[in-house]
Amino acid sequence: MSTVLIFGGSGSIGSAICQKFAEYGYNIAFTYFNNRKEAEKLVAKLNAYCKTPSIAIFCDVCSESSIQQVMNLPIYFDIVVNCIGNALYKELLESSIEDFENIVTVNLRSTFLITKLSAQKMLARSLKGSIIHLSSIWGNVGASCESLYAATKGAINSFTKSIAKELAPANIRVNAVACGMIKSKMNQQFTTRDIQNFFKNAPIQKIGQPEDIATAVFFLAQNKYITGEILTVDGGVTLS
């Protein structure tokens, strides 16, 4: 059975993605950064589905050497999911160069490193592969008071399309999921009224669940005729 490596797998959306693949019999390896106990709990949960024990790996995605250490492990994956990302809610005039450098490092630099090093390992074993990034609808349409976050996600979308063209001859597909508002730690500061206002003009007037993103990621991993796609999962918000 195939192995999936999920960067940021211990987060709200990442853990749902881990569970989705585990339910279909995939071997699971995922990274965590802050919370080892939560990672260990997730391993125990996943092992109820997997024949091969799941693996939780510490990784600082701001460090190239830390990502390289993950790649050096004897884990032979053919699917990589990049769930790494920080939000930043600030007006442009309040944003500092430190804010800019931090969010570019966490969101964009990590995406570059994860993609490059994953592709190198896939190519070394002559494997067909799939790399899937988590992006955002704000990377498509922009967002007031989230310009730096939106900029990194827009860059990830363009990067995804470019690398999809570059790696296609090697049978490596690259796609992304543009997430709308999903019930996760990233959005926990929003009140019920905030959420209702956000969705008042949307076709589907409710917040998305991590499972909705997990299903989209699994679909992109399975469909071998899709590459360079930015799949929007937002309840129709960007149709409004």
Report the catalytic residues: 149
What residues contact 41, with CB distance under 8 A and at least 6 apart? none
The token pair at 221 is 């991993």
What string of H, E and C letters represents the secondary structure of the chain? CCEEEEECCCCHHHHHHHHHHHHCCCEEEEEECCCHHHHHHHHHHHCCCCCCCCEEEECCCCCHHHHHHHHHCCCCCCEEEECCCCCCCECHHHCCHHHHHHHHHHHHHHHHHHHHHHHHHHHHCCCCEEEEEEEECHHHHCCCCEHHHHHHHHHHHHHHHHHHHHHHHHCEEEEEEEECCECCHHHCCCCHHHHHHHHCCCCCCCCECHHHHHHHHHHHHHCCCCCCCEEEECCCHHHC
